[in-house]
Amino acid sequence: MKAERVALVTGAGGGIGRAVSLALLADGWNVVLAGRGVEALEQTAALAGERRPAAMIKSTDVADPQAVDALFETLRQRFVRLDLLFNNAGVNVSASPDELTFEQWNTVVSVNLTGVFLCAQGAFRLMRDQNPQGGRIINNGSISAHAPRPNSIAYTATKHAVTGLTKSLSLDGRQHNIACGQIDIGNALTPMAARMQTGVPQADGRIAVEPVMDVAAVARSVVFMASMPPDANVQTITVMATKMPFVGRG
């Protein structure tokens, strides 16, 4: 009989977080669904069908240290341990560097970087102290961890920073049997990416429609990463629409 496995997914109320949560539930995981909107989290849980009892909902602002502490305390009381964190919550603001306000910058950094750190820290502590020791953290990096889009300075800066955070967690986690990897996603079709189908700014100033892929491909990839044995890790993986304008010049 397979041991009970527990995963935490942030930003689970929609898009990539919802798809990954449902894929993990279907694969037999217990999943803690974290996000700011309870109604959206409940919709995700309802989509799990007969696996609904394996989902736990916890309203959380990942940028708030007290809220993250409460999330992990609730998780600990319910499940005792944590085997997987998918650090997925993120926001974006489109603005040129000269027009981006401090408030906008701070919002993106607080969620995309500080929030990722706070959740990773909570998971690291729990995985270090639990028995058996260890677990896995998967951070959502994005194609923007490699190359920017126009008017994305805050988002791109945080996603580049996530790469450094992932490497540090991967190194520091070794002595505690904690693996950390990163998935960089390009043009998965979610409500946030729907604009790709009507046209988005390109590096040369054009507005162009971009190819997209089914978000299920991302979900399958995260489940694959999560399925690795403790002595193996997918350090980085890029999952992208085959024909999107990332590889090459243009």
Spatial separation of the C-alpha atoms in residues 58 and 17, rounded to whole Å: 14
Strands (E), the chain: 6-10, 30-35, 55-59, 84-87, 135-140, 178-186, 188-189, 200-201, 207-208, 213-214, 236-240
Q: Which residues are catalytic?
A: 155
Among residues 195, 190, 189, which one has the least CA distance to residue 149? 195
The CA distances from residue 164 to 87, 161, 230, 236, 247, in Å, are 14, 5, 22, 12, 22
Spatial separation of the C-alpha atoms in residues 92 and 111, rounded to whole Å: 9
Among residues 74, 72, 75, 33, which one has the least CA distance to residue 55? 33
Burial letters 68-79, b for 16+ CB under 10 A, else e: beebbeebbeeb
The amino acid that residue 113 corresponds to is: L
SS3 100: coil
